[in-house]
Homo-oligomer: A and B are copies of this chain.
Amino acid sequence: MEKELRFKKEDLMDFVVRYMSKLGVPEADAKIVGDVLISADLRGVESHGLLRLGSYYGNRISKGFIDPTTPYKIISETPTTALIDGGNGCGQVVSYKAMQMAIEKAKTGGLAAITVKNSNHFGIAGYYSMMALEHGMIGICMTNSQPLVAPTYGRTAVMGTNPISVAAPAHKAHPYVLDMATSAVAYGKIQLYDKKEEKIPLGWGIDDNGLVTDDPKKIKPGGHGALLPLGGMDITAGYKGFGLAILVEVLCSLLSGGHFLTQVGSPSKPEPTGVAHFFMAINIEAFRPLIDFKLHMDEMITLLKNSPLAVDRDEILIAGQREFDYEAYNNINGVPLIQPIVNDLMADADKVGVSFPIDRVL
């Protein structure tokens, strides 16, 4: 177990703003980037948190692959829709604005959809879908991403892990927050098994011949092998995950005229990525009283949680529940970061000439 340190959220935010400002990101924008990344660490999704501050964002800005001013432009707009060019800026900034716009439009329009092209990695999809919750809306967010996943019957990585997030408010229960890659697992999970020299379950990925494998070393998307879509091989319905990944492309890149599939660049390569996103807000009050919806959500969640457990299991987990529990704990105890990530952040800080003088909580 890596040593875990804990920090105040405000201190980390202050650091991100100073770091990003040095790179030419306006303060208000830097706060958005910081909030999205720190939220991921708070919610226990450390793979999408500050871990990526340098590699996915800072370094790429300093090399000119991302425009720090995020000069996004609205290409077309109606009272319920918009198509935005992200200006190859910070994915978080244009995504935050786009979801805000979807929510504003849905207040009068009942529902609204915004599609964004020419953007970059935006962090956790759940951040944006959850923005709808406090407005009494259902939030939906999707994004495409660099190729890591093979189509069913294929052998190379053609599709991104293309996540889908949907958030819906409840009354006393935690909101339902689905935030899932449409691949069986994230690549990071396979790398972890590789590090531990363990075999992976069948269904996570394929080798260079397109055959399912339990050897994590045989899965190096971009080189050889690929991740499998949700469902795994065809016999366990991997074609459904394949279909969902294409749904994400339809709403993100096809509706926006952005890059799709192998056209999407990787944050690890010296090139702009051209990532495309999709945001939707559905105003519950346009259909029925919000309180009725929320009370029914509580009732549904109770029904699920009270249903009989499999042997040796102690709880049925609703999508998002674990993340809300982490968040509550970490809001009190501080944002957890393991030592290697802190070391990287200190090195990132050094590079641009800011300090990382953060008082640890613990």
A54 CB, nearest partner CB in chain B, Å: 29
| A307 in contact with B236 (CB, 8 Å) | no
| B210 in contact with A311 (CB, 8 Å) | yes
Stretch at the interface among A6-14, A16-24, A199-207, A331-339: A199-207
**Looking at the complex, which one of B78, B204, B232 makes contact with A203 (CB distance below 8 Å)?**
B232
Indicate the member of A250, A283, A310 with the most B CB atoms within 10 Å: A310
**Chain A contacts with B in 302-353, Cβ cutoff 8 A:** 303-304, 307-311, 313, 315-319
A198 CB, nearest partner CB in chain B, Å: 12
Indicate the member of A79, A254, A318 with the most B CB atoms within 10 Å: A254
| A180 in contact with B243 (CB, 8 Å) | yes
Give per-residue flags for A188-226: 1 if the beta carbon is below 8 A from chain B beta carbons, else 0.
000000000000010110100111000000000000000
Stretch at the interface among A58-66, A87-95, A286-294: A286-294
A112 CB, nearest partner CB in chain B, Å: 8
Q: Provided the pairs A250-B138, A257-B292, A310-B209 are in contact, do residues A286 and B237 lie with their beta carbons within 8 angstroms?
A: no
**A73 proximal to B (CB < 8 A):** no
| B184 in contact with A231 (CB, 8 Å) | yes
Stretch at the interface among A28-36, A45-53, A154-162: A154-162
**A178 proximal to B (CB < 8 A):** yes
Q: How many residues of A contact B (CB 8 A)?
A: 85
**A246 proximal to B (CB < 8 A):** yes
A242 CB, nearest partner CB in chain B, Å: 8
**A97 proximal to B (CB < 8 A):** no
**Looking at the complex, which one of B150, B286, B292 makes contact with A80 (CB distance below 8 Å)?**
B286
Closest to A182 in B: B240
User: How many angstroms between the C-alpha atoms of A318 and B154 in the bound complex?
Assistant: 12
**A362 proximal to B (CB < 8 A):** no
Q: What are 26 A-B pairs at a CB distance below 8 A?
A: A75-B288, A79-B110, A80-B110, A111-B111, A111-B113, A138-B250, A151-B304, A152-B317, A154-B307, A158-B304, A168-B254, A176-B250, A178-B243, A178-B247, A180-B237, A201-B235, A203-B232, A206-B310, A210-B309, A211-B310, A230-B240, A231-B231, A250-B297, A251-B282, A254-B296, A256-B288
Residues of A within 8 A of B (CB): 75-76, 78-81, 83, 109-113, 115, 138, 150-156, 158, 166, 168, 176, 178, 180, 184-185, 201, 203-204, 206, 209-211, 230-232, 235-237, 239-244, 246-247, 249-251, 253-257, 260-262, 282-284, 286-288, 292-293, 296-297, 300, 303-304, 307-311, 313, 315-319
In the complex, besides A152-B316, A180-B237, 16 extra interface pairs with C-beta distance below 8 angstroms are A81-B283, A111-B112, A138-B250, A150-B307, A153-B313, A155-B308, A180-B244, A210-B308, A210-B313, A231-B232, A232-B236, A236-B236, A239-B317, A249-B300, A257-B292, A257-B296
